[in-house]
Amino acid sequence: MTRIAVIGAAGRMGKVLVQAVHEASGVELGAALVSPTSTLLGADAGELAGIGKVGVNLKGSLADAANDFDVLIDFTNPELTLANMAECERLGKQIVIGTTGLNVQQQATLHDYAGRMPVVFAPNMSVGVNLLLDILHRAASVLQEGYDVEIIETHHRHKVDAPSGTAIRLGEVVADAMGRDLKQCAVYGREGIIGPRSDQEIGFETVRAGDVVGDHTVLFATEGERIEITHKASSRMTFAKGAVRACAWLSGKANGVYDMQDVLALKG
């Protein structure tokens, strides 16, 4: 039985993760973490998540919960995620990371840690999105000649990074299938007199509004037709279930960085 710790258990995503772990088979909620200064310390994680008592009280550090979990789910922020990786390495734990917005240096640090511990790192834990990535690679391989590519994403008003990690991953998949370097061909938003669109660019448009959980569309357009591949998330539970699935899968794996494509056996 894989024992899971959820960090940020008092937040929007954390509460959903607590519920997802509690409802899943083959895993159990071993620990739930909040800030060490939180007034919620000691509260039952299940009651906070609205699912009733689960017998796991909120703690303020991974060290305090060291004997209670095998793998940590982290959907926090880049700086805290890297600090949690360091602590998980020290404690001999595994980690599943859904944090987005890591810069190049932070990603390099993450991969360095992963040389000494098994890690699942994915910008989107949704099973549907990861299946979409597989479909998208095939579509982009066929549509690479004569089709313009635009990626449009919408999230709630509280999201702090843009474009979303998922949108960037969609762009990477398209660029790879088309033999392009996303760093060279990505265009993030447009304004003013910019001239005609180039044949090679992959455009990104970002919308932030209301309580949208996450919508992503990849548009392929040419003279006479358009193809749109879309995923819409209406609940954070889809990400939470994927993260829990990744925790169960990670048990016993060798050191290294894995993603949801590995978890779902979508890699050829």
Which residues are identified as catalytic?
A: 155, 159
The torsion defined by the Cα of 232, 235, 239 and 245, in degrees rounded to 10, comes to -120
Instruction: Identify whether the C-beta of residue 57 lies closer than 8 Å to the C-beta of residue 42.
Output: yes
User: How distant is the alpha carbon of residue 233 from its chain centre?
Assistant: 13
* Angle in degrees, CA 250, 176, 198, rounded to 5: 145
> Locate tokens 């193809």: which residue?
227
For residue 187, the cross-strand partners are: 203
Instruction: Identify whether the C-beta of residue 187 lies closer than 8 Å to the C-beta of residue 152.
Output: no
SS3 of residue 46 by DSSP: helix
CA atoms within 13 A on the CB side of 238: 14
User: What DSSP designation does 64 have?
Assistant: G
* Angle in degrees, CA 129, 134, 137, rounded to 5: 120
Q: How far apart are CA 243 and CA 71, in angstroms?
A: 11
Which of 43, 40, 81 shows the shortest CA–CA distance to 62? 81
Q: How far apart are CA 150 and CA 147, in angstroms?
A: 10
For residue 204, the cross-strand partners are: 151, 188
* φ and ψ of 44, to 5 deg: -75, 130
